[in-house]
Amino acid sequence: MVRLVDDTGALLAAERGDRTMWTLHRRGLDRAGQALVPAVVLGQVWRGGPQPQLCRLLKGCVIESFDENAGRAVGRLLRDTGTSDVVDAHVLLTALRYRAAALTSDLDDLQRLAAALKVPLRLHQV
């Protein structure tokens, strides 16, 4: 069962060796066995060059696809909340779908989206 979703800030923190991020990631893996990275998040951070810490982190993750259904759900959420960040919306919807906590550097943005939906969301800031 997946219990952890990483956002862009979490992956960037992992790549720079942030101890808080790695501690939260390991704790999540110990409890759930897997972490999820939405494909749109990976697209924001992947540059194809040497990214050894990011590659290390991704080995323990499942990449959540961004297909037509996800695109439509994200679009509806953006419409309903009057916001425009596709990545934040996909992170939120992925966390809700899997009843997972999100590791994020965008605490305020994700809280705003969750509040607009009137849903509880566990967030951990990195």
Which sequence spans correspond to the domains of the chain?
4-125
Q: How high is the pLDDT of residue 1? A: 62
Residue 88: partners with Cβ closer than 8 Å, 6 or more residues away: 7, 106, 109, 110, 113
- Average pLDDT for 112-124: 91
Residue range 31-51, pLDDT digits in tens: 767 799 999 999 999 988 889
Q: Are 66 and 40 in contact (CB under 8 A)?
A: yes
Residue 2 scores a pLDDT above 70: no
Q: What is the mean pLDDT of the chain?
A: 91
Question: Which two tokens mark 22?
Answer: 């790695």
Residue 28 scores a pLDDT above 70: yes
Residue range 79-108, pLDDT digits in tens: 999 999 999 999 999 999 999 999 999 889
Residue 67 scores a pLDDT above 80: yes
pLDDT-based confidence at 9, cuts 50/70/90?
very high
Q: What is the pTM assigned to this prediction?
A: 0.91
| CATH architecture of the domain with range 4-125 | 3-Layer(aba) Sandwich (3.40)
